[in-house]
Amino acid sequence: MEIKDIENLFRNQDLDIAEPALGHQERFLEKLREQSPHSNNGKLRALWTPILAVAAGLLLIIMLAGNLTGFGITNNPGDLANVSPEMKETQLFYASLIKTELARLNDLKSPETEAIVKDALAQMEKLDLDYEKLKKDLVKSGQDKRVIFAMVSNLQQRIDILNNVLSKIEEINQLKNPKNENNYI
E-strand ranges in the chain read none
Decide which of 102 and 12 is more confident. Answer: 102
Residue 19 structural domain? 1-74
**Contacts of residue 143, Cβ cutoff 8 Å, sequence gap at least 6:** 83
Contact between 147 and 134 under an 8 Å Cβ cutoff? The reply is yes
Q: What is the pLDDT of residue 185?
A: 58
The answer on 87 and 70 residing in a single domain is no
Taking only the tens place, the pLDDT of each residue in 134-178 is 999 888 888 888 988 999 999 999 999 999 998 998 888 888 776
Backbone dihedral region of 142: left (phi > 0), alpha (psi from -120 to 50 degrees) or beta? left
For residues 37 and 92, membership in a common domain is answered with: no
The separation between CA 43 and the C-alpha centre of its own chain, rounded to angstroms, equals 41
Number of domains in the chain: 2
Query: pTM of the prediction?
Result: 0.55
**Amino acid in the structure at residue 129:** L
Q: In Å, what is the CA distance from 50 to each residue of 55, 61, 120?
A: 9, 17, 58
Give residue 119's pLDDT. Answer: 92
Condensed to tens digits (0 to 9), the pLDDT of residues 34-46 reads 886 655 556 666 6
From 22, 45, 74, give the residue that closes a domain: 74
Same domain for 57 and 98?
no
Residue 182, in any domain of the structure: no
pLDDT band per the 50, 70, 90 thresholds, residue 73? very low
The verdict on 104 and 172 lying in the same domain is: yes
3-state helix, strand, coil in the chain (%, to 5): 80, 0, 20
Short-list 166, 149, 35, CA closest to 108: 166
Q: From the CB of residue 33, how many other CB atoms can be counted at a distance below 10 Å?
A: 10
Q: How confident is the prediction for the chain on average, in pLDDT?
A: 80
Q: What are phi and psi of 114, to 5 degrees?
A: -60, -40
Check residue 74 and give left, alpha or beta (phi > 0: left; psi -120 to 50: alpha): beta
